């Protein structure tokens, strides 16, 4: 009897370590579980690569010869548009991962896996943190493949390696921030299908009412102001600056986020993480109470 009691005590007792250390450790365990799952279902990664590659090819070769950038002299140069475009495609790719994050968490809820996690002696927020970290790794791999495709079609950076890496770092930070929005959506709906729809329906206006694909000064005044204060636009502008992809003579809008895009991008991402992580963890606790 004493042996059984001791085993039960060990199973139910928290493991050694402070709250922060325990939360980090549990989050990494959950992240590892999700990464193993992704490795065993490679079509999840493959299908996640198809859409951004299609966007690169279609926008580069279908629209690239028809869109003139402000400050551009002479005939339309598709190469300049490709340089302008890629930061927008990178940003769109990391934010569209939001739908996958939400669907994955909704699927875990639907199958009862979250309830099984709740029965274990682990930090409550670790389930969501681990999931978002795993999604961040997948997003990083997608960005690597997408950058290779961009190099093949002629995209180049014109800054030093440190700035280029900083640009990709801001893109990943934005993707991680948006994955918390996806987590909240996944916890708020009943099915993975609803999470996918809910994760995409607001992303299309967010990404297209921005400077990702066309300059914001070509928009009506009210849309231009929205685009210039859009967190997505700030990250796109920051990536263009850090990659050295702003066309010669391109006029930078007067809005503060466009004048200080690196700082604005970092601030937007941190605020989104702080707000939506708090909301998602609170929703997780109430959903599993």
Q: What is the DSSP string of 124-186?
A: TTHHHHHHHHHHHHHHHHHHHHHHHHHHHTT----S-HHHHHHHHHHHHHHHHHHHHHHHHHH
CB within 8 Å of 90: residues ≥ 6 apart: 143, 146, 147, 168, 171, 239
- pTM (2 decimals)? 0.85
Confidence of residue 26 (pLDDT cuts 50, 70, 90): confident
In angstroms, how far is the first alpha carbon of the chain from the final one? 31
Cα–Cα distance for residue pair 127/147, rounded to 1 Å: 30
Cα–Cα distance for residue pair 219/12, rounded to 1 Å: 59
Cα–Cα distance for residue pair 155/25, rounded to 1 Å: 40
Q: What is the tens place of the pLDDT at every residue in 64-82?
A: 666 777 666 555 677 788 8
Q: What is the tens place of the pLDDT at every residue in 175-232?
A: 999 999 998 998 888 788 888 788 788 898 999 999 998 888 888 999 999 999 999 9
Cα–Cα distance for residue pair 136/176, rounded to 1 Å: 6
């Amino acid at each position: 009897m004493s042996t059984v009691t001791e085993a039960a005590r060990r199973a139910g007792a928290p493991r050694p370590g402070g709250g922060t250390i325990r939360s980090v450790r549990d989050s990494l365990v959950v992240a590892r579980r999700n990464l193993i799952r992704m490795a065993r279902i490679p079509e999840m990664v493959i299908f996640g690569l198809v859409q951004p590659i299609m966007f690169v090819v279609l926008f580069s070769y279908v629209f690239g010869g028809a869109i003139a950038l402000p400050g551009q002299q002479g005939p339309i140069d598709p190469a300049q548009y490709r340089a302008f475009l890629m930061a927008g495609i990178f940003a769109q790719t990391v934010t569209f991962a939001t739908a996958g994050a939400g669907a994955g968490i909704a699927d875990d809820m639907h199958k009862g896996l979250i309830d099984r996690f709740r029965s274990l002696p682990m930090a409550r927020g670790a389930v969501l943190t681990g999931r978002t970290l795993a999604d961040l790794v997948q997003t990083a791999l997608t960005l690597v493949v997408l950058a290779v495709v961009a190099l093949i079609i002629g995209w180049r950076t014109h800054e030093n390696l440190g700035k280029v890496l900083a640009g990709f770092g801001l893109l990943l930070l934005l993707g991680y921030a948006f994955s918390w929005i996806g987590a909240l959506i996944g916890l708020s709906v009943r099915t993975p299908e609803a999470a996918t729809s809910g994760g995409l329906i607001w992303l299309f206006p967010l990404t297209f009412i921005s400077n990702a694909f066309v300059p914001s000064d070509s928009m009506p005044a009210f849309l231009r102001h929205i685009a210039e204060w859009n967190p997505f636009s700030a990250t796109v502008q920051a990536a263009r600056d850090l990659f050295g992809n702003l066309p010669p003579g391109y006029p930078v809008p007067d809005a503060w986020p466009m004048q200080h895009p690196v700082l604005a991008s970092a601030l937007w991402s941190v605020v989104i993480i702080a707000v939506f992580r708090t909301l998602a963890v609170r929703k997780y606790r109430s959903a599993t109470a």
